[in-house]
Amino acid sequence: MRRSEGKQTSNCFGWLEEAVKIVAIVLFIVPSCAAQITNVTNDQSTPIPGAGHDYIKMLSETVNPSNGSASLRIQTPAPKGRLLTIPFGFDHDTNGIHHLTTDPNGSPIWAIDSTPYSRGGWSYSIPLVTYVLGTDVVSNSLGGESSSCSYYSGFVYKDPDGASHALGIAAAEPYTPGACLFPLGGVPNAGDDYYRASTPTGWGTPSATVVSADGTVYNFGCTPCSPNDNGDAMATVRIEDRNGNIATSTSDNSSGAYTLTDTLKRPLISTSSFASSAGDTIYLSGLANPYVVAWKTETSNFTIPITYLDGNCPVPANTDKRTVVSSIKLPNGQAYTFLYGTDDPSNSNPYGLLSEIIYPSGGWVKYGYGMNTQSDAFQTTISSSNGQSSCVFLYGTPVVTKRTVSFDGSHVALQQTFAYSTSWNSEVLPKIQTGR
């Protein structure tokens, strides 16, 4: 196994915080051409409350020193329903914005997470399931013909707190007389330690059901559905707790519009769109004025350090262009403002990640970034005119190396620095190379 270690120091109060250590195994094969996140690995994981290690938190943002990510959660005041109350807010995570996948030939390329309800690491905190459409070409050795079968896989659930969960379910199109390379009939039931999930075994419109540990059932579908190998998303259509209280919602994947009706039949949340160039308007029950979200384009330009374990497959420079939130105007007229790499005159953030959060009160949090040089592993098989070749490497990911906090916008109240190192267990490296 491997060990990732982040150390942080503070020069504000003269105290030291103990290093946080996490043990994780990062081994994944990403479906070809999948642009969105299809698993929850080290460079894509988001904070889960009570998940076995501490986070560094203040105001509404969190730094995870085990993998160097920053997360922001801006909650809105949601009126209480009958026992069942669904929260709403604005989420941002730096992990997963830059992630590696493969082109149709298996060569490493960069992908941008983009669904009807997520852009540039931003999303609304609504229950959401993302997935991708894959296709296998199956050869019939008897007749010499080939056919194809499709499947939905890469199901990831984003819970109301903004945490991501790999569900492990899949639905596959039946194929006769051969068999799809994907498990015939799919994987109808799976989940993780927090949620169990299921999807119909028959082939058709994608759907999923997720059940939480407290017995709350979330049903998911999409309107309209547009499954593709770049990914799609399903918003929850029905939520029922174990006492029979029901909330329903409607959504439009074309515009990202979403409306949630709570257990008292009130339109609790109503959004005009998601990531619209004209901005998004969000109405909440009980508030006279809406929230207004403005967006802009952000870019990145960087390369990553690579240590090859098998083969040699070049990874191109990351030159992503994506849509991010520039401000959130509150119903009282005040606003949050967000700055990124291109807003930094020192050009110390070529990753285009979140550099500064300016709060309505004038206080702020600033981030500096660096590279954890061997934090993750990648494995792929590349097809060419010369046949197939394996390529396995360790690579670096951008991480938060400095965090500075000001409560009044003028005086620094806290400054922390972080250093990271990853120790790969000698027993794990051969397994990564062989795919075991």
Sign of the torsion angle spanned by Cα atoms 30, 35, 37, 38:
negative
Taking the alpha carbons at both ends of the chain, their separation in whole angstroms is 13
pLDDT at position 31: 37
Of 207, 151, 209, give the one whose Cα is nearest residue 34: 151
Helix (H, G, I), strand (E, B) or coil at 430: helix
pLDDT at position 238: 94
Q: Which two tokens stand for residue 220?
A: 């998911």
Please list the ranges in the chain whose pLDDT falls under 70: 1-59, 137-147, 175-185, 223-224, 228-231, 426-436
> Measured between alpha carbons, how far is 54 from 190 in angstroms, rounded to an integer?
28
CB-based contact 299:319 (threshold 8 Å): yes
Q: Which two tokens stand for residue 148?
A: 């194809």
Helix (H, G, I), strand (E, B) or coil at 409: coil
DSSP state of 19: P
Domain ranges in the chain are 2-434
Helix (H, G, I), strand (E, B) or coil at 434: helix
Cis before 314 (ω within 30): no
Name the CA radius of gyration of the chain, rounded.
Answer: 22
pLDDT digits (tens, 9 = 90+) for 407-424: 999 999 999 999 998 888
Burial of 331 (0-12, 13-18, 19+ CB in 10 A): middle
